[in-house]
Chains A and B, each alone.
Chain A
Amino acid sequence: MTAFDQIKTIVIVMMENRSFDHVLGHLRMPEYGNRKDVEGLDDPTDNPKYVNFLSAQGYAPFPMKDQILPHDLPHGRDFVKTQLAESNGTLTMSGFVKAYKEFTGSVVNEPPPMGFLAPQDVPISSFFAEQYTVCDHWFSPLPADTQPNRSVAFSGYSLIEDTKGRPIPVPPESFIFEWLTRHKVSWRVYHSGLSFFMLFQSFKLPYWSNFSNIRDLAGHIASPDQMPQVIFIEPEYGDSPVHSGPINDNHPPTQMGPGEHFLREMYATLSKLPEKWNQTLMIVTYDEHGGFFDHVPPPKLRTPAPLGALFSQPFESMGPRVPAMLVSPFMKKGGVFNGMMDHTSILQFLAEKFTPGKDYNDEVKRRREFGIQSVSAALRTNPDTPRSDIPLAPADQLEGAVLTPPATEIQPGNQEAFAVAARQLLAQDRICALQKFPELLHLPDK
Chain B
Amino acid sequence: MNSTHKAFAVAAIFFGLALLAGCAHIVDFDVSPRTICPDEQVFATWDVGAGQTKLEAKAPLEGLGVKPQQGRQSFSLASSTTFTLKTVAPFHSEQREMDVTVLAASSMSRFGEIAHCEADTAAPTVSFVVSDKDVSRASRALVVRNPYTRPITVQKDGIEVTLAPKMETDHFKDISMIGAWTIRAAVGQGETCSAALHDVGERLIFRTQLGCAGR
A→B interface (CB under 8 Å): 46, 48-51, 53, 55-60, 70, 85, 87-88, 90, 92, 94, 104-109, 408
Contacts and interface: CB of A to CB of B under 8 A. Distances in A.
A55 B110 CA distance: 11
A59 to B, nearest CB: 8
19 contacts: A48-B201, A49-B200, A51-B112, A53-B203, A56-B111, A56-B130, A56-B181, A58-B111, A58-B112, A58-B205, A60-B110, A87-B116, A87-B202, A94-B202, A104-B96, A106-B97, A107-B99, A108-B98, A109-B99
Specify the main secondary structure of chain A where it touches its partner: loop
B91 to A, nearest CB: 12
B201 A50 contact: yes
B111 A57 contact: yes
B116 A48 contact: no
Contacts of B97: 70, 106-108
B195 to A, nearest CB: 12
Contacts of B93: 408
A85 B113 CA distance: 11
Contact of A70 (B95, B109, B114, B205): B95
Given A85-B114, A105-B29, A49 B203 contact: yes
B47 to A, nearest CB: 11
By size class, the interface of chain B is: 35 or more
A109 B200 CA distance: 23
B101 interface: yes
Given A51-B110, A55-B134, A108 B205 contact: no
Contact of A48 (B29, B133, B147): B147
A298 to B, nearest CB: 15
Nearest to A92: B202
B147 A46 contact: yes
A109 B131 CA distance: 17
Given A58-B111, A109-B101, 10 more contacts: A48-B204, A48-B205, A50-B201, A51-B205, A56-B129, A57-B134, A87-B202, A92-B114, A107-B99, A108-B97
B110 A57 contact: yes
Contacts of B96: 104-106
Contacts of A55: 131, 133-134
Interface string B177-203: 000010000000000000000101111
B76 interface: no
A107 B96 CA distance: 8
Nearest to A49: B201
Given A105-B29, A109-B101, A53 B147 contact: no
Contacts of B147: 46, 48
B43 interface: no
Contacts of B75: none
Contacts of A51: 110, 112, 201, 203, 205
Contacts of A92: 114, 201-203
Max chain A C-beta neighbours (<10 A), residue from B29, B101, B114: B114
Max chain B C-beta neighbours (<10 A), residue from A48, A59, A85: A48
Contact of B112 (A50, A56, A87): A56
A48 B111 contact: no
Given A87-B114, A87-B116, A57 B109 contact: yes
* Shortest Cβ-Cβ A-B pairs, 3 listed: A49-B201, A58-B110, A56-B128
A108 B34 CA distance: 9
A57 to B, nearest CB: 6
B103 interface: no
Contacts of A46: 147
Interface in B123-180: 128-131, 133-134, 147-148
B24 interface: no
Given A94-B114, A107-B34, A58 B201 contact: no
A104 to B, nearest CB: 7
Max chain A C-beta neighbours (<10 A), residue from B29, B111, B130, B200: B111
B114 A105 contact: no
A104 B96 CA distance: 7
B68 to A, nearest CB: 19
A50 B181 CA distance: 21
